[in-house]
């Protein structure tokens, strides 16, 4: 094999890490964009694609998935973002700050690679989340994200085509992959799964409602704020289990006293 070919492949994620990086498309409208995203994933050796509530039910037939038809056929389809990222330890939302005020840490795309590399090193699973072509990720979608990454673009045209955005993000991540160890290692400070944080948020919310913490009209806002707060705290998996047990005990005690 030519030497330049070996050099070229040096910048692709090692095989042991490729299934730890998930691409998630939320409410995509155009099947051609889904196919383009799948093709970009295949270019960089990635296989894990999730599609959340797609607008067109025929998206698996997109002809733009050149060289990646199996990836498209094997993609996971879910009704909600929470389900798509439940098994991930780091959820990265993508978008622009032009029309929204971010409620989590914002990371320029060139600075994302070291964060992803650290999570891969400790064996975590990462979700890179993209919103629909029409409005991007909603405020509700972003409440499931630990950080928001922004692609540097001209202010006159801040948004980017979905397939192109996926390609640019994956290129930026994989071209810096040489700094990450090839084999993930376990860590006692491993991060909790996103689904585990949602479980904790649900128990805390139930305890809040049991003591009449706020009017019913405030419950959706409380739920949103809890999701964000737990992700901003950067809890370890161990701490999450302990806090979950604590609030379950508190909730049991509240219900027992009421009876």
**Is 3-179 assigned to CATH 3.40.50.410?**
no
Asked if 84 contacts 25 with a C-beta cutoff of 8 angstroms, the reply is no
Q: What would the pLDDT profile of 128-140 be if each residue is shown by its tens digit?
A: 999 998 888 999 9
Buried b (16+ CB within 10 A) or exposed e, 101-139: ebbbeebebeebbebbbebbbbbbbbbbbbbbbeebbee
3 state SS of 194: helix
Asked if 208 contacts 214 with a C-beta cutoff of 8 angstroms, the reply is yes
Asked if 113 contacts 172 with a C-beta cutoff of 8 angstroms, the reply is yes
Q: Specify the pTM.
A: 0.87
Alpha-carbon torsion angle 82, 195, 98, 96, nearest 10? -100
Q: How many whole angstroms separate alpha carbon 52 and alpha carbon 218? A: 27
Asked if 137 contacts 94 with a C-beta cutoff of 8 angstroms, the reply is yes
Q: How many whole angstroms separate alpha carbon 18 and alpha carbon 169? A: 15
- Provide the pLDDT for residue 112: 93
The stretch 200-218 carries a mean pLDDT of: 94
Buried b (16+ CB within 10 A) or exposed e, 47-69: bbbbbbebeeeebbebebbeebb
Helix (H) or strand (E) holding 137: none
- Provide the pLDDT for residue 156: 83
Q: What would the pLDDT profile of 153-177 be if each residue is shown by its tens digit?
A: 888 888 889 999 999 999 998 876 5
Provide the β-strand partners of residue 127. Answer: 22, 91
pLDDT band at 10 (very low <50, low <70, confident <90, very high): low
Check residue 111 and report its DSSP letter.
Answer: G
Q: What would the pLDDT profile of 217-246 be if each residue is shown by its tens digit?
A: 999 999 999 999 999 999 999 999 999 999
């Amino acid at each position: 094999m030519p030497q330049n070919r070996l050099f070229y492949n040096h910048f692709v994620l090692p095989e042991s890490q490729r299934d730890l990086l998930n691409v998630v498309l939320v409410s995509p409208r155009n099947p051609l964009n889904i196919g383009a995203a799948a093709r970009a994933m295949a270019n960089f050796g990635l296989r894990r694609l999730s599609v959340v509530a797609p607008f067109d039910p025929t998206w698996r037939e997109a002809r733009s998935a050149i060289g990646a038809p199996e990836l498209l056929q094997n993609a996971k389809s879910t009704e909600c973002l929470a389900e798509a990222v439940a098994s991930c330890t780091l959820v990265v939302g993508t978008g622009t700050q032009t029309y929204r005020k971010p409620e989590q840490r914002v990371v320029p795309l060139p600075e994302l690679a070291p964060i992803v590399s650290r999570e891969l090193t400790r064996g975590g699973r990462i979700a890179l989340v993209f919103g629909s072509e029409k409005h991007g990720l909603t405020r509700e979608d972003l409440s499931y994200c630990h950080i928001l990454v922004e692609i540097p673009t001209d202010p006159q045209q801040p948004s980017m085509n979905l397939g192109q955005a996926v390609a640019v993000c994956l290129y930026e991540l994989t071209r810096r992959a040489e700094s990450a160890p090839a084999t993930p290692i376990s860590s006692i400070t491993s991060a909790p799964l996103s689904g585990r944080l949602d479980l904790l948020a649900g128990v805390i919310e139930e305890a809040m409602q049991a003591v009449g913490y706020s009017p019913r009209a405030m419950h959706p806002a409380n739920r949103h704020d809890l999701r964000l707060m737990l992700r901003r705290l950067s809890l370890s998996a161990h701490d999450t289990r302990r806090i979950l047990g604590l609030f379950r005990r508190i909730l049991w005690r509240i219900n027992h006293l009421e009876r």
